Structure 1
């Protein structure tokens, strides 16, 4: 399950709307081993396409260096679909290289802003529930759950 704060969901949807009709893309980094999305990082779609997204290789290298320096990992990798449902395409699956990441898709084809999350491992797509929260539980609260 993806547990994600409302402000991060709103930021993803706003980015997708802002870049429409092109696909938007980005990452939400979080502490290594915590599976907790924290730091919103909108990226430029280097392809500038309504049907395809691609991270700029220099931006991606910079991002991974920042995450390494901060002991972070890509918890969420997101992008939008502008004319189709929020479901990974064959291209999306072939580019999915982070087996621990949640792959979030937002469809901006209509006003509903369909928001869905998937795990993509070895080419297999598994949809997962999304729990939107106002804040994450403290370490002690999370430990007692």
Structure 2
């Protein structure tokens, strides 16, 4: 289960809409299963099919999470033109253990769809996503 405050999800949707047609990405921090913070990242690949986070931004985000007493709970990215399900590349590159992967689909830009998954050793398991507030 991953609980995300509505305002955080709204901010992710806005980031994805602004970045369209490219994929956008970022990190979410929090405690337990509840997200408390969002750290938008630059997609250095500038692609509509994959993403790569800026390492300096990643380092700064992880440092900020630690300072706030949070841990990394999720890695998020958008799929501008495909469903909210991990691609083969998403699965292959899911190397961070114990985090959720939130995928936001803009396949229908008027009705974005967010889904969360745990990806480990090539296995994909859906995670219940709760939007709070």
TM-score normalised to the size of structure 1?
0.84
The number of residues matched between the two structures is 132
Of 68, 72, 87 in structure 2, the residue corresponding to residue 89 of structure 1 is: 87
CA distance in 1, matches of 2:63, 2:4: 24
SS at match of 2:52: coil
- Secondary structure at the aligned position of 1:119 is classed as strand
Q: CA RMSD in A?
A: 1.4
Partner residue in 2 for 1:61: 59
Q: CA deviation at 1:2?
A: 1.6
1:76 aligns with 2:74: yes
Q: Is the 8 A contact 1:67 1:73 kept in 2?
A: yes
Moved over 4 A (4+): none
Question: Paired residue for 1:11?
Answer: 11
Counterpart for residue 103 of structure 1: 101
Question: Shift of residue 85 of structure 1?
Answer: 0.5
Q: CA deviation at 1:90?
A: 1.5
Equivalent position of 2:23 in the other structure: 23
Query: Are 1:106 and 1:113, in contact at CA under 8 Å, matched by a contact in 2?
Result: yes
Q: Which runs of 5+ in 2 are unaligned?
A: none
Q: Does 1:41 align with 2:47?
A: no
Tell me which structure has the larger Cα radius of gyration: 1
Q: Deviations over 1:88-132 (max 9, x none)?
A: 111111221233211100111212201111011222100122111
Deviation at 1:11, TM superposition (A): 1.1
TM-superposition CA deviations, 1:7-39 (whole Å, max 9, x none): 1111111111110000010111113xx222101
